[in-house]
Amino acid sequence: MELWYEILHRAWLVYDSIRQALYGTHTYRVISILWALFSQLWYYAVLGALVAAMASRFLPRERLRDFLRARRGWSLIGAALVGLVSPLSTYAAIP
């Protein structure tokens, strides 16, 4: 447990020294805004990764291909839905 506190203490010292060095600069504002966005949207990225992992696990490519071939009229809509779900793990969906 002491090792954990030592690691946290050193990380906090590094964070504090970087924050003091960058305070008032454009870089500090950009990092602050990025951190604020990340803290609000991280769960969308996790949810997207889970949905993409479940889709790749439970929807094999052959099964999906056969399903879309059998329903030619709906294949475009189905492909669009699959395309909508697939990049969610990489790009967070902003509501």
Q: Is the pTM of this model over 0.75?
A: no
Q: Which CA distances in Å does 29 have to 25, 81, 85?
A: 7, 37, 32
Are the C-beta atoms of 28 and 22 separated by less than 8 Å? yes
Q: How far apart are the first and last CA of the chain?
A: 40
Q: What is the pLDDT of residue 6?
A: 92
Give, for all 95 residues of the chain, the pLDDT tens digit: 789 999 999 999 998 999 899 999 999 999 889 889 888 888 887 887 887 788 778 888 888 778 778 877 777 787 787 777 766 555 555 55
Q: What is the pLDDT of residue 10?
A: 93
DSSP string, 15-29: HHHHHHHHTTSHHHH
